Chain A
C-alpha cells in the first residue's frame, strides 16, 4: 500500500477509491469515505444525493478536465489527481487549476505513480497530500519536500514570484 503523507507525517488512509467506470449500483453500495472518478460523479450524482458530501471525494485522471466540475469541487472533502506515470505532467496543471481557478480549500492528494523527486513540484502546484508509491522511502520524500528554500516563479504554495519579493 502507498504511504499517505500529510502534514509531514504518514497517516492512515480512510478513503477507498472506486475505479473509473463505476455504475450507480457500485456507488450506492460502497460504504464509508469513497473516492469517485469525476466522470462517474457527473453521471451518477443523483444516486449519491443522500450521502454526506464529507464522505465523498472526487478523483481526476490526467486526461480529465477540472473545468467539468468547476467550483463544485469546493463541496468535497477530498480531491485526488492521478499520475498514471510520473512522467505525465498534466496533473500539475490540474492541481493548480483546482486550487487557483476553482478555489478548492480541502485536501488535494496526488495518487498513482507518486515518487520522491516529484513531490516538491506537486506541493508547489497545490497538493498537500501524497500517496507515495509503496516501494519509496518516506524520509526521502519528506526531505524532497524541502528541496528548495527559494523559488523564482509564483505557484500555489507562494503566489508571489521572487521578482516581487526581491524588491520589497
Chain B
C-alpha cells in the first residue's frame, strides 16, 4: 500500500496542527458555529443526534494491521469501544468528544491516517474495487490512479468550497464494476485502447439521493497522463456553474442534466484545452513512482493449485459452501481473496468492536501480508491468502462470526444506520434487515436464489443505496408512522440502473411477506440460471406488482 514520505508526513502533521488551532479558536469563541462547521466537516467531524462523529479516511479501503490496532486503541481510549465501517470504505467513530478530536487526529497521523475531506463540500475519498490489484478481471491495478487523485485532491485550494460534496470512483475491470462508478459524481473506467495504451473512459453526473441518476460518459478515451488536468477541468466547470441556491440541486448531476451531457462535455473540453499541457500533466516517472507503492507482495510459487484445499472441500460441505460464496479468484496461482462477513443479527451493519478490530489485525498478519480491505458492502477482505491456508482461516474465523457463507445473497444486506442511530431517518432500517435475515435463514434456499442485492435506506439520503439494490427498501414517513417503499431492478454494476418503485408502501411487519412474494414470483418466472435482476429486466415490474398487491388485498 502507499507509504508516506517526508512530504506526506509534513502535510498531514501540519493539518493536525491547523485543526488543533481551529478547534481552539472555536472553543474560545473566535470562530462562530457556522464558520467552524465546514472546517470540522473537512476534518471528518460531523454532528448527528447532538454528538459529533469522526469519519476517518481509508484511501481506497486499504488498512494495515498496524492501523487496525491503532483504530482499536482509539475506540477504547476516546470512544465506546467500537467503530463503524461505512458504505464508502471509511471508518467512523460514533462518540468522540470534539475536544479530543485534535488528539485523535494526531494519533492517526502517526500511522499515516487522517480524516481529511471525509465530509463537507469538497472532493471526498476516492473509492475503488475491493479486489484491486488481485482480481484476474482487471486490466491494471487501479490503486495507483486512486492515489494520484488522492494527492491531487488533498487540500486543493480551488475546490475546498464546492457547491456540494464530490465523490470519485475508479474501476479497472472491463466486465464487472464493484466500485459502482456509474452512481458517482465522476466515474473513471480504466481502459486499454487498440494500441495497448492505458487511458480512461470518463463518466459524470451519477448519483443517488433525492434525484437518482446514472452517470453519462463524456469521454471514451482520455490518455493516461491527462487524468489530473481533465479532472481539474470538470471540477472547475462544476465549481463555477453548479447551483448554490438549493442544496438539493447542487450536485454535479443536476448541472449535467441542465446543460445536457453533451453541453457539459463541451464546456469541460473548452476548459481542458487551456490547461491540458500545464504542469499537472502527469509524468511517466510519477506514475512509476506511485506504482512502486503497490508492488506485489512476496508470493510463494504454487504450480498446480492447492491439493489441501481440494481435499478439505471434499470433506466438508460447510467449508465448501463458504469457499464457493466468500472466496474470490486471485491473479496469483495458489492464492485467493477472502471476504469476511461482518454482519450479524442484532448489530448494525458495519459496526466492529475494538476486539474485533484486533482480531482482524491478527488475521491480516497471519494470513494476508498484514493488510486488509474494507468493502462498500461493509465487509472486509483479506486479499492475499494462500489456498493452502483457507481451511485454517475458515476454522479461525468461524467462532469470530466472520464466516457467514451468505455473501452476495439476499441476507448480505446493505443497510444504513437508520432511525435507531440517525437523526435524519424517516424510519428504522436495521429491524427490517433483521426481520428479513431471520425469515430467510435457509442457506440452500438463498443459494438457489443466487446473487441478490437487498439495499435498505432509512430516508431519501440513500446512504443504504436503495436505488441500486436489486431489491431496494426506503423508509418513508406517513403521518408520523414508519412505512417502507419497495423498488425492484436496481443495479450498481456495469449495467447500472435505478430501481422502479413497486407501488404503495408497506408497514414494517409486512416486509418479510412482501419480500417472500417477490422472490416467489422470481422463482416461478426465471429461466434456468437467470439472475433475479435479469428476470426483472425481461418480465418487468408488472408480474411482481400484481402478485404483491393482489396477494395483500
Report A's interface with B, CB cutoff 8 A: 86-90, 92-94, 96, 101, 115-118, 120-122, 124-125, 137, 140, 143-144, 147-155, 159-164, 166-167
Q: In the complex, are the beta carbons of A161 and B158 less than 8 A apart?
A: no
| A–B complex contacts, Cβ < 8 Å, 14 sampled | A90-B240, A92-B159, A92-B161, A101-B274, A115-B35, A116-B31, A118-B161, A121-B155, A124-B158, A140-B30, A153-B280, A155-B158, A159-B279, A162-B7
Set of chain B residues within 8 Å of A163, measured between Cβ atoms: 151, 282-283, 286, 289
Return the chain B residue nearest A151 by Cβ: B155
Q: Contacts A117-B22, A144-B18, A151-B157 known; list 8 others, CB within 8 Å.
A: A88-B161, A92-B158, A117-B31, A118-B161, A120-B157, A143-B21, A150-B14, A154-B278
Q: What residues of chain A lie closer than 8 Å to B157, measured between beta carbons?
A: 92, 120-122, 124-125, 151, 153, 155
Number of chain B interface residues as a range: 35 or more
B446 to chain A, nearest CB (A): 46
> What is the CB-to-nearest-CB distance from A74 to chain B, in angstroms, rounded to a whole number?
17
- How many cross-chain pairs have Cβ atoms below 8 Å apart between A and B? 112
Question: Which residue of A is nearest B237, CB measured?
Answer: A93
Contacts of A149 in B (CB 8 A): 10, 14
Residues 446-474 of B, flagged 1 when their CB comes within 8 A of A and 0 if not, give: 00000000000000000000000000000
Do residues B161 and A150 form an inter-chain contact, with CB atoms below 8 A? no
B159: chain A residues at CB < 8 Å are: 89, 92
Looking at the assembled complex, report how far the CB atom of A164 sits from the nearest CB atom of chain B, in whole angstroms: 6
In the complex, whether B244 has a CB less than 8 A from a CB of chain A is: yes
Give the complex CA separation of A162 and B11 in angstroms.
Answer: 11
The residue from B22, B155, B162, B236 contacting A148, defined by CB atoms under 8 A apart: B155
Q: Are B7 and A154 in contact (CB under 8 A)?
A: no
The complex places the Cα of A117 from the Cα of B38 at a distance, in Å, of: 10
* Residue B239 interfacial (CB < 8 Å): yes
* Nearest CB of chain A from residue B310's CB, rounded to whole Å: 47
Minimum Cβ distance to chain A for residue B6 (Å): 9
B154 at the interface (CB under 8 A from A): yes
- Specify which chain A residues have a CB less than 8 angstroms from the CB of B156 in the assembled complex: 152-153
Nearest 3 Cβ contacts at the A-B interface: A89-B161, A124-B157, A121-B157
Contacts A86-B35, A93-B239, A152-B152 given; indicate if A166 touches B158 (C-beta within 8 A). no
A90, A101, A153, A155, most chain B CB atoms within 10 A: A153
Do B25 and A140 touch across chains, with their CB atoms under 8 A apart?
yes
